[in-house]
Chain A
Amino acid sequence: MTGATLSERRETAAPAIELKGISKAFGPVQANRDISIRVMPGTIHGIIGENGAGKSTLMSILYGFYKADRGEIFIKGRKTEIPDSQAAISAGIGMVFQHFKLVENFTVLENIILGAEDGALLNRSMAKARTELVQLEREYGLNVDPDAVIEEIGVGKQQRVEILKALYRRAEILILDEPTGVLTPAEADQLFRVLGRLRAEGKTIILITHKLREIMEITDTVSVMRRGEMTATVKTAETSPEQLAELMVGRKVLLRVDKAPAKPGAPVLEVENLRVVDEAGVERVKGISLNVRAGEILGIAGVAGNGQSELLEVLGGMRSGRGVLRMRGQVMDPGADGKARRAMGIAHVPEDRQREGLIMGFHAWENVAFGYHDDARYRSGMFMNNRALREDTAAKMERFDVRPPDPWLAAKNFSGGNQQKIVVAREIEQNPALLLVGQPTRGVDIGAIEFIHKQIVALRDAGAAVLLVSVELDEILSLSDRIAVMFDGRIMGERLPGQTDETELGLLMAGMSEAAA
Chain B
Amino acid sequence: MDYSTFLNNDPLLRAGLTAAAVIFVDLCALVILIAASRERRHGDRRWAQESRGLMLVCGDTAYPLGAAEIVIGRHPSADIRFRDSEISRFHAILTLSGGSWQIEDLSGNGVTVNGKRIEAPCILRRNDVIGIGRRKLTVMRGKKG
Q: Do A and B come from one complex?
A: no
B contacts, CB < 8 Å to A: none
